[in-house]
Structure 1
Amino acid sequence: MTSSDPAGTPAGWPPLRAELRGLEPYGAPQLDVPVQLNVNENPYGPSAACVADIATAVARAAVTLNRYPDREFTELRAALAGYLSRDTPHGIVPGQVWAANGSNEVMLQLLQAFGGPGRVALSFAPTYSMYPEYARDTMTEWVQGHRESDFALDLDHARDLIKERQPSVVLLPSPNNPTGTALPPEAVTVLCEAAAENEQTGIVVVDEAYGEFRRSGTPSALELLPQHRNLVVSRTMSKAFALAGARLGYLAAAPEICDAIRVVRLPYHLSAVTQAVALAALRHAPELLGKVDELRAERDATVAWLRDQGLSVAESDANFALFGTFADRHAVWQGLLDRGVLIREVGPDGWLRVSIGTTEEMTAFKQALTEVREEGQG
């Protein structure tokens, strides 16, 4: 006889997969505080001109909402290819582009297509905390190597681990989240060549969610696409484009990889409204990206200030900085929150991550951190 609660519901209800029971859903704290620097958002919203263009585009799309959208999002793929072509001398064509509802869905679709039972996904810690969840959700075995003390990749270790575990998917953010570390081109080449030696020729995904914030002289992995048929480079409009609320991520890869993803994507997965918003934003790309230089400068100033305070800071090519170390990082995090500043308690023990905000927001962060440290917290 099955035990049940007082309402008559059987124990173990609902019938969730065993490996998911007791788990909490992913998500950074959503708290209403004056200074929110915890999820790497762009602090500068779209201009009035961009907002007006988006509104007009959505109004046009609304007239056709009784019809399904273009499931191949042809116009958007062409626009994204044009935008990505700026970062590589080789150019990108629409057949090399795929998009979905945020880079999260892009990654999930990659694992649906190339992962699965009996296959391995691999990365190197510390890295983006959602990667193992994509693997879990697609029943792909998750394998995690390690990074060096400065958060760079140990290429010998990486090559050996790929050879040993034969992953079908290697996930590598560049800049890395939460450390901000960028991958040099030679590292991408080593890993693509190692994965290509696998029996099933594993794919290497270089996640450039923060790619537009990279420092001058740091190339995009897009330049390596002609050399490696197993290379995938993903991007998002959430960060540099200040469109976190629009949910549009995309990738560039060999057309055969894009075609494979089409097998697992849900029908009409990009709504007509999403496509309209993304196209309007791309029309305003120079303006939206105009704040990137300001954020880079603010990042570099923040890194320098943190180091002047005697703290360790990871080299960052992103719009955030990982800093530490603290004996009790949670006490520091809480002390900042008590002063109206929300940052992220993430990464290796003792470290904290702060997103780069406006000059005023970073001033508030510095003042709050100074007060917390003067009180001896952490």
Structure 2
Amino acid sequence: MTTLDDLPIREDLRGLSPYGAPQQPVRVTINVNENPYEVPVGVQHHLQEAIARELAGLNRYPDREFTGLREKLAVYLTRELEAASDSAGGVRVVGPDQVWAANGSNEIMQQLLQAFAGPGRRVLSFSPSYSMYPLLARGVGAEFVTANRTDAFEVTPALATDAIRRERPTVTVLCTPNNPTGTGLPLETITAAYDAVVETDGILIIDEAYAEFRHAGQPSALELLGGRDRLVVSRTMSKAFAFAGARVGYLAATPALIDAVRLVRLPYHLSALTQAAASAALDCTDIMLAQVDVIRQQRDRLVLAFEEAGFRPYPSEANFVLVAGVDDPQALFEHCLERDILIRDVGIPGTIRVSAGTPVETTEFLSALAEYPGTPRPAALLSAINAPENA
């Protein structure tokens, strides 16, 4: 039987493994940072109606520029900016011509790298970060390079500036809140990185897939778009919008940068059904985001419980928690799996990552953690387990 090694694949892809997290039919899935809540029934009906209107016309190609969806995404981002307490760049409006969408934020990143990276060019990120970045960079033939974060997984303005000037990448990617650490970035770091990127003739991508889960008062890079033509802010509907199965990501940037992406996108890359579903979901923004506060509460509940049990959780601005002080991450993973619970070993020694689930799911995980032999203070988890589940 033919194996992968027998095929004439590119040499730089030999020995690599495809991206993937465990997918098993378990009772509690808190390993891939999904929104744990189903799409509300009322929104489901609205989506069904929107999709039904497109069915008769599926013999025709969809709107190549997905104009209606871009208009609604622009309204959504503008509402967020208007609600911000401060705007460093004075930006209060995002127009439809500043928005682009694709099949998930991974495709957004792929299109950006197709346009701006490639053979002979470098892509820089700060490790540890999202494991798809090197795969996407290699996919376009670019060299992927990293700079280390601080011990607290932060990126300071000086660290960012020094790395960009040293590596001189065409594309720099900063993830905030960062996956898998949950760390947020101050605007000072982003502005410093941007200035260095301009000096070295590159672009700066800020990956804000988890932006809606930030603590109150934490700014978004959207506020910096004004006057910064080489800045891209990438977002997704997968997380806060409970839309992971629909695969819709988007970006905000200058219209000229979006014109560059048009050069490499596949024709009609967003199906009519995807456009209809995403537009209908944005009609119901307030309903779709209603559970964000509850998810934040469960994230903070996890942080407190980990601390009380003797672990070392890192501060998180996302919908998950990375916790250190785990004696054997794989053993804890297996311990939870035996109890029908999936968590994530992300490969950082001595750590495990846990997504914020529903209150019931959080309780089930904490109960499993209390039974784990490597938990330093299991009795301390009793108060968190017995706490009101909406707290």
User: Do the structures match in fold with TM over 0.5?
Assistant: yes
Q: Secondary structure at the match of 2:125?
A: strand
Query: 1:112 is aligned with what amino acid?
Result: Q
Larger mean Cα displacement after TM superposition, 107-116 or 14-23 = 14-23
Alpha-carbon distance in structure 2 between the residues aligned to 1:59 and 1:286? 23
Match of residue 14 from structure 1: 7
State whether residues 87 and 223 of structure 1, in contact with CA within 8 Å, keep that contact through their aligned partners in structure 2.
no
Alignment map for 1:39-118 (pairs within 5 Å): 39-89=32-82, 90-118=92-120
Per the TM alignment, residue 10 of structure 1 is displaced from its structure 2 partner at its CA by: 10
The CA deviation string for residues 97-156 of structure 1, in whole angstroms up to 9 with x for no partner, is 010000000000000000001111001111000000011101111110001111111332
Alpha-carbon distance in structure 2 between the residues aligned to 1:236 and 1:56? 23
State whether residues 117 and 139 of structure 1, in contact with CA within 8 Å, keep that contact through their aligned partners in structure 2.
yes
Specify every segment of 5 or more residues in structure 2 that has no aligned partner in the other structure, as ranges. 83-91, 377-391
Match of residue 89 from structure 2: none
Match of residue 276 from structure 2: 276
State whether residues 323 and 353 of structure 1, in contact with CA within 8 Å, keep that contact through their aligned partners in structure 2.
yes
Per the TM alignment, residue 230 of structure 1 is displaced from its structure 2 partner at its CA by: 1.1
Residue 32 of structure 1 is aligned with which of 25, 49, 70? 25
The CA deviation string for residues 312-354 of structure 1, in whole angstroms up to 9 with x for no partner, is 1111010000002223211111111111111000052111100
Alpha-carbon distance in structure 2 between the residues aligned to 1:152 and 1:13? 43
Match of residue 348 from structure 1: 348
State whether residues 105 and 234 of structure 2, in contact with CA within 8 Å, keep that contact through their aligned partners in structure 1.
yes
1:15 and 1:93, CA in 2 relative to 1: closer, same or farther beyond 3 A? same
Residue 150 of structure 1 is aligned with which of 143, 149, 152? 152
Match of residue 286 from structure 1: 286
Q: Secondary structure at the match of 1:373?
A: coil
Per the TM alignment, residue 24 of structure 1 is displaced from its structure 2 partner at its CA by: 2.1
Query: 1:236 is aligned with what amino acid?
Result: T
TM-score for both structures, normalised by structure 1? 0.94
Alpha-carbon distance in structure 2 between the residues aligned to 1:125 and 1:375? 27
1:326 and 1:57, CA in 2 relative to 1: closer, same or farther beyond 3 A? same
Match of residue 255 from structure 1: 255
Alpha-carbon distance in structure 2 between the residues aligned to 1:53 and 1:105? 26
Per the TM alignment, residue 373 of structure 1 is displaced from its structure 2 partner at its CA by: 3.1
Alignment map for 1:160-309 (pairs within 5 Å): 160-198=162-200, 201-309=201-309
Match of residue 381 from structure 2: none
Per the TM alignment, residue 162 of structure 1 is displaced from its structure 2 partner at its CA by: 0.5
1:374 and 1:113, CA in 2 relative to 1: closer, same or farther beyond 3 A? closer
State whether residues 77 and 94 of structure 1, in contact with CA within 8 Å, keep that contact through their aligned partners in structure 2.
yes
Per the TM alignment, residue 261 of structure 1 is displaced from its structure 2 partner at its CA by: 0.1
Alpha-carbon distance in structure 2 between the residues aligned to 1:319 and 1:10? 39
Match of residue 3 from structure 1: none
State whether residues 100 and 250 of structure 2, in contact with CA within 8 Å, keep that contact through their aligned partners in structure 1.
yes
Alpha-carbon distance in structure 1 between the residues aligned to 2:375 and 2:142? 46
Larger mean Cα displacement after TM superposition, 135-144 or 321-330 = 321-330
Specify every segment of 5 or more residues in structure 1 that has no aligned partner in the other structure, as ranges. 1-6
Alpha-carbon distance in structure 2 between the residues aligned to 1:207 and 1:244? 16
Q: Secondary structure at the match of 1:123?
A: strand
The count of aligned residue pairs is 367
Instruction: Please tell me whether residue 124 in structure 1 is matched to residue 126 in structure 2.
Output: yes
Give structure 1 regions of 4+ aligned residues with deviation exceeding 6 angstroms: none
Match of residue 386 from structure 2: none
Query: 2:77 is aligned with what amino acid?
Result: L
TM-score for both structures, normalised by structure 2? 0.91
Q: Secondary structure at the match of 1:361?
A: helix
State whether residues 213 and 317 of structure 1, in contact with CA within 8 Å, keep that contact through their aligned partners in structure 2.
yes
Q: Secondary structure at the match of 1:352?
A: strand
Alpha-carbon distance in structure 2 between the residues aligned to 1:87 and 1:159? 29
State whether residues 246 and 274 of structure 1, in contact with CA within 8 Å, keep that contact through their aligned partners in structure 2.
yes
Alpha-carbon distance in structure 2 between the residues aligned to 1:86 and 1:148? 34
Alpha-carbon distance in structure 1 between the residues aligned to 2:4 and 2:111? 33
1:11 and 1:182, CA in 2 relative to 1: closer, same or farther beyond 3 A? closer
State whether residues 369 and 375 of structure 2, in contact with CA within 8 Å, keep that contact through their aligned partners in structure 1.
no
Per the TM alignment, residue 25 of structure 1 is displaced from its structure 2 partner at its CA by: 1.3
